[in-house]
Chain A
Amino acid sequence: MKRSTTPMSVRVALGFLVVVAILVVLGGLLAPHDPRAQDLNLVGAPPGDGHLLGTDNLGRDVLSRIIAGARPAVVGAALVAVGAVLVGTLLGTLAGFKRGRVDAVISRIVDVGIAVPAVLVAMVVAGVTGGGYAIAVAILIVLFAPYDVRFIRAATLEQRGRGYIEAARTLGRSDRAIIVRHLLPNLRPLVLTYALLDFAYALVALTSLSFLGVGSPPGSSDWGRMLGENLSLLTLNAAATLGPALMLILTATSINLVGDWIQDRFTDDGMARA
């Protein structure tokens, strides 16, 4: 059953994501103050006095930092989503299409990967090796991919028995041609859904790492790092912690709402079931 109208919640979510996207692209240009300028006479000041959301633990303008923080918070997450989905699509279609030994090997690796707490591993390895953000992003790609492999493998298995694949086989097309030319276009909406889900989880994961102080480098205006650094300001200027917290929650929720909506639509159409 196809829904004729887009639900209100999804429209609000899309609207919010457009705002975030503008912040990511324009970033500092929109900030009323220099997000790095410190005013040590004005530490943890409440809203007012030229600072709409007050100042943080080093006297920096909170609003400007929230605006400038959109980019560092979102870019790494986008990288994780793209990387995990690429790996997931490649291995998932391969396992689902070839079956047999290839499938068995990939599926065992996936089982192990899913049992591992991704954020904890990323925190420990990035923290102990001192590798920081790049290592964290790489580890999250490796540990998020198994979920995508599992879902895309299931979708591939379901598509495999369909007439169009049989037809392509009968015509003597190679496996690779069938996967690339025929299977992938049909999986596209699903792949998009998983990319969005990965994006939301990666956003939460990377800001969690930054909150703990092992993700983005010190001084960065990343939302998670802002939260961690201004933890003690909750009584002085709550906006310094609540602001980035709300941005993070609203962004991740919006991405998930849009992702769910896309998935619902195509599942209802009988496109593919994960």
Chain B
Amino acid sequence: MPATSVAAAPPRAPHAALRVALAALRRTAALVALLVAISFGVFALFDAAPGSAVESLIAPGSSPSPEQIAAIERRFNLDEPFLERYVHWLGGALTFDFGESVRTRQPVSTAISERLPVTGLLIAMSAVIALAGGVLLGVIAAVRKGGKLDRALTIFAVAGVSTPAFASGLLLLYAFAVLTAVFPPGGAGEGLGDRLWHLVLPSIALGLSTLGFVMRLTRASMADALGQDYVTFARAKGLSRRTVIGRYALRNALVPVLTATSLILTYVLTSTVLVEVAFGIPGLGDLLVEAVRTRDVPVVQGVTLLMAAAVVAMNALMEVAYVVADPRTRGRGGRS
């Protein structure tokens, strides 16, 4: 995806710090509004599910007595109008109370906290692979722009972004767990060492799906940076190639990559779900898919809201990081 160009530098603001703070505040308000809108949509899932709200709250196949139905109606305030129920539910959600799973009777917050660590580790490992690999290959491609290596790397990147994480995961599983039993064929393992070992293939599959994206971004912005006057000047000064590329060009080339991080995160969240199912890892994504398949609405709501909050928080962080990293945007409230 082409990077958005940044407009010419505005005159320097007298109270840059204050303006940054104000812009941040305004954006935070917008993000909170977005989060409220999302939570409303998530809550509406209750009523979107086929059958009455009560039906979506009883275990599928069971036939509850009238007393049980009345209890459920009281528990979830089903006799109240939609908006009042939403406010009740939101109040609970703010304290991580999403009710309990219809299927297992386990509190949703417990289910989430049990599964969060595996998913967190998986995403962290894949992020290292995607960022380190993507930036490195992107720089190599930009330096060798137009050459054979660049063309090969570009095709590799296109294949990377075109391949859903479950498909690359299956290819990896076949090559390294079936043909050669180097890695375990799935699951999450016990204990830290074993777990890291189990997560190698999944994190590569997950990392590959974003590596291509990071690489293309880095290549484009790096090629752009290498053509700038300050790079020519640094070279003319006699600085080594390594210094010019690493210290001068790369620092500027990384700004678009930084901006894209939130876009990348939304993509990673989706891919995590696919990878966890393909490798049979009991993480958040697996929990979500299982809940969707069994119409376990409270679990779906809890996980969805958590993921939405993660995306929104990441967006907010990135906007701050962008303003800090690129002085030209200060006082203009982020991207134009």
Contact B170 A130 (CB under 8 A): no
Tell me, yes or no, whether A231 is within 8 Å of chain B by CB.
Answer: yes
- B163 CB → nearest A CB, Å: 5
CB distance from B1 to the nearest CB of A (A): 8
A212-B274, A227-B166, A242-B171 given; A128·B158 CB < 8 A: no
Return the CB mask of A116-130 against B: 1 if under 8 Å, else 0. Answer: 111110011101111
- Contact yes or no, B167 A231, CB < 8 A: no
Q: Which residues of A contact B307 (CB under 8 A)?
A: 117, 120
Determine whether the beta carbon of A234 is less than 8 Å from that of B162. no
**At the interface, yes or no: A238 with Cβ under 8 Å from chain B?**
yes
Shortest CB-to-CB span from A105 to chain B, Å, is: 14
Q: Are B49 and A255 in contact (CB under 8 A)?
A: no
A9, A207, A212, A273: which contacts B277 (Cβ < 8 A)? A212
A255 to B163, CA, bound (A): 12
A221 within 8 A of B: no
B278 within 8 A of A: yes
Q: B289 an interface residue at 8 Å Cβ cutoff? A: yes
Q: A212-B274, A248-B164 are in contact. Are A123 and B170 (CB under 8 A)?
A: no
> On chain A, which size bracket covers the interface?
35 or more
Q: In the complex, are the beta carbons of A241 and B170 less than 8 A apart?
A: yes
**For chain B residues 134-164, which have a beta carbon within 8 Å of chain A?**
151, 155, 158-159, 161-164
A52 at the interface (CB under 8 A from B): no
Q: A115-B266, A128-B292 are in contact. Are A249 and B162 (CB under 8 A)?
A: yes
User: In angstroms, how far is the closest chain A Cβ from the Cβ of B14?
Assistant: 27
- What is the predominant secondary structure among interface residues of chain B facing chain A? helix
The yes or no answer to B269 lying at the interface (CB within 8 A) is: yes
Query: Are A208 and B170 interface neighbours, CB within 8 A?
Result: no
A interface, over-half SS: helix
Contacts of A257 in B (CB 8 A): 155, 158
Cα distance A274–B34 in the bound complex, in angstroms = 27
Q: Is B66 an interface residue (CB 8 A)?
A: no
* Contacting pair A204 B2 (CB below 8 A): no
Docked CA distance A62–B163 (Å)? 21
Flag if A117 contacts B274 (CB, 8 Å).
no
User: Could you say which residues of chain A place their CB within 8 Å of the CB of B49?
Assistant: 128-130
Residue pair A129, B273 in contact (C-beta under 8 Å): no
Would you call B77 an interface residue if the criterion is a C-beta within 8 Å of the partner chain's C-beta atoms? no
- What is the bound-complex CA distance between A252 and B162, given in angstroms? 5
A163 at the binding interface (Cβ < 8 Å): no
Residues on A with C-beta less than 8 A from B263 are 114
Interface flag for B304 (CB, 8 Å): yes
- B34 in contact with A238 (CB, 8 Å): no
Chain B, range 295-317, C-beta contacts under 8 Å to A: 295, 297, 300, 304, 307, 311-312, 315
A177 to chain B, nearest CB (A): 30
Contact with A along B100-121 (1 / 0, CB 8 A): 0000000000000000000000
Tell me whether B273 and A123 are in contact (CB under 8 A). yes
A234–B178 alpha-carbon span in the complex (Å): 8
Known: A7-B151, A249-B159. Contact between A238 and B167, CB under 8 A?
A: no
| Distance, CA A7 to CA B315, complexed state (A) | 38
Known: A124-B45, A128-B48. A234 touches B167 (CB 8 A): no
B268-294: which residues lie under 8 A (CB-CB) from chain A? 269-270, 273-274, 277-278, 288-289, 292-293
A211 CB–B CB distance under 8 Å: yes
A21 to B123, CA, bound (A): 37
Interface string of A247-274 (1 = CB under 8 A from B): 0110011011100100000000000011
Say how far A117's CB is from chain B's closest CB, in angstroms. 4
Chain A residue numbers with a CB within 8 Å of B4 are 154
A112 at interface by CB-CB < 8 Å = yes
Tell me how far the C-beta of A235 lies from the nearest C-beta in chain B, rounded to whole angstroms: 6
User: A200-B162, A245-B167, A249-B167 in contact; A130/B34 too (CB < 8 A)?
Assistant: no
A sample of 17 inter-chain contacts (CB < 8 A) reads A115-B315, A116-B311, A117-B266, A117-B267, A117-B311, A120-B270, A127-B292, A128-B45, A128-B49, A129-B48, A211-B274, A212-B277, A241-B174, A242-B174, A248-B167, A249-B168, A252-B164
Interface residues of B (CB under 8 A from A): 2, 4, 34, 37, 45, 48-50, 151, 155, 158-159, 161-164, 166-168, 170-171, 173-174, 178, 185, 262-263, 266-267, 269-270, 273-274, 277-278, 288-289, 292-293, 295, 297, 300, 304, 307, 311-312, 315
A208-B164, A211-B277, A228-B277 known; 19 new pairs, CB 8 Å cut-off, are A115-B311, A120-B269, A125-B45, A128-B45, A128-B49, A128-B292, A130-B50, A211-B166, A212-B273, A227-B167, A234-B185, A245-B171, A253-B158, A253-B163, A255-B162, A256-B158, A256-B162, A257-B158, A260-B158
